[in-house]
Structure 1
Amino acid sequence: MLKNPPPYHSYLLRFWRESGWRFMLENPHTGERKGFGSFEALVAFLQEEVMDEEEAPR
């Protein structure tokens, strides 16, 4: 087993149509939910998560 396994993020993705598409990510470990009014906003959030992880010291 690895001493320090690489960090990862896990989300449950929900999406539905309601005068346009709506998206929600839920952290299965904490139950925290984050909603997005557009696909672009969802992707921007995920890109930010990846960038933050790449910049974090290992």
Structure 2
Amino acid sequence: HFVFTRQNRGKLDELSALVERGQLRPHVGAVYSLADIPLAHARLESANNGLLGKIAIAVEPSLIA
């Protein structure tokens, strides 16, 4: 299921403000490094990937839990 929307800076600013105030918390199901992007794609394409949230890509290795 895909949803395509037009870019809207105002809405993005509103979402950012909600995140900053702690009123909106995105659910991250997994974090991968840049080098592991192929593994992230493979997991997304797997039928039983066990994900409960989004996959994030950590640009800094220290951010990977």
Question: TM-score, normalised to structure 1's length?
Answer: 0.25
Question: TM-score, normalised to structure 2's length?
Answer: 0.23
Which structure has more strand as a fraction of its residues? 1
Which of structures 1 and 2 has the larger relative contact order (alpha carbons within 8 angstroms, sep 6+)?
2
